[in-house]
Amino acid sequence: MSDGCGFPAPGLHSFLFKPIFTVGGFEFNKVMLLALLTTLVVITFFYVAFGKAKLVPGKLQMVGEAGYDFVRRGIVYETLGKKEGEKYVPLMVSIFFFVWIMNIWSVIPLAQFPVSSVIAYPVVLAVLVYVLWVSLTFKRHGFVGGWKNITGYDNSLGPIKWLVSFIEFFSNLLVRPFTHAVRLFANMFAGHLMLVMFTVASWYLLNSYMIPAAGVSFVMTVVMILFELFVQAVQAYVFVLLACSYIQGALAEHH
C-alpha cells in the first residue's frame, strides 16, 4: 500500500497465497492447484485428441497434431535432426505444453496467475533438462570425453586451454541451468507484475476524479494481456529450444 494515496501497489505480496488446505506441515495453495490443473489439462487434451486417433482426424485431433508437429518439426528436428531427435519428441512436446499452459493461466479469469512466475517450477524443469544433458554427455562420450565436452578442453588452444576449460566448466555446469530457469521465471514474474499494476490502476482511477486516466490504464491492460499471450508462447518455445540445444551439445562429437 503506497503511503498518502491509498493506491494498492502490486509487489511481492501479489505472488503469495494463503493455503487452500493444510495436511500436517504440507500447505496446498493456489499455485499448486494451477500446476496440478496444468498437468490434468495437458494429459486430458492429448488423451482425448489421440486416444482414438482416426485416419481422417477430427477438429481436436487436428489441433493436437498441429501442436505436436510444431514442436517436433519446428524445434526438435531443426535442432537435433530427425534421426537423433525423434526419441526426445514426446518429452519436448510435454515440456512445451506444460510450460505454455502454466504461463497462460495469467490471463484466464479466476486463475489470473502464471505458475512459472514462482521460481520453483522453472527450476524443476531446468533441473530435469540439466540431468538429461549431463547423463547424455557422459553416456555418449564416456567419462574423459564427457568432461572434455563439458569443459571444451582442447590441446590446440595452447596455454589458454585451462582458462577456457574453467570458463566453460563454470558456464555449463553452474550458469546454464540457472539462466535456463531464471529466463522463464523473470519474464513471467515481470509480465504478471505489469498486468496487475495496470489492472489495479484502472480500478483505482475509475473510483477517483481521474476517469480519463482510468480509460488509458484499461487500454494498457488490454495491450498487456495481448502482449502476455505472445510472451507466454515465446517463453515455452525458447525453453524447449534451449533444452534441445543442450541435448544437441551433449550428442555432438568433441573436437
Per-residue pLDDT at 215: 81
Of 4-13, 57-66, 222-231, the range with the lowest mean pLDDT is 4-13
> Considering the chain, what is the average pLDDT of its residues?
88
Average of per-residue pLDDT across 89-115:
94
Strands (E), the chain: 21-23, 26-28
pTM reported for the whole predicted model? 0.89
255: three-class secondary structure by DSSP: coil
**pLDDT digits over 169-225, tens only?**
888 888 999 999 999 999 999 999 988 888 888 877 777 767 777 788 888 889 989
Half-sphere exposure of 181 (CA within 13 A, CB side): 17
Per-residue pLDDT at 200: 83
**pLDDT digits over 149-180, tens only?**
888 877 777 778 788 888 888 888 889 999 99
Average of per-residue pLDDT across 77-102:
94
Instruction: Map out the domains of the chain as residue ranges.
Output: 108-253
pLDDT exceeds 70 at position 93: yes
Dihedral angle computed from the Cα positions of residues 27, 127, 229 and 63, in that order, rounded to the nearest 10 degrees: -100
Query: Alpha-carbon distance 164 to 246, whole Å?
Result: 19
What DSSP state is assigned to residue 175?
Answer: I
Per-residue pLDDT at 2: 42
- Grid look-up 497462460 returns 104
Share of residues in the chain with pLDDT > 90 (%): 52
**pLDDT digits over 46-84, tens only?**
999 888 777 777 888 899 999 999 999 999 999 999 989
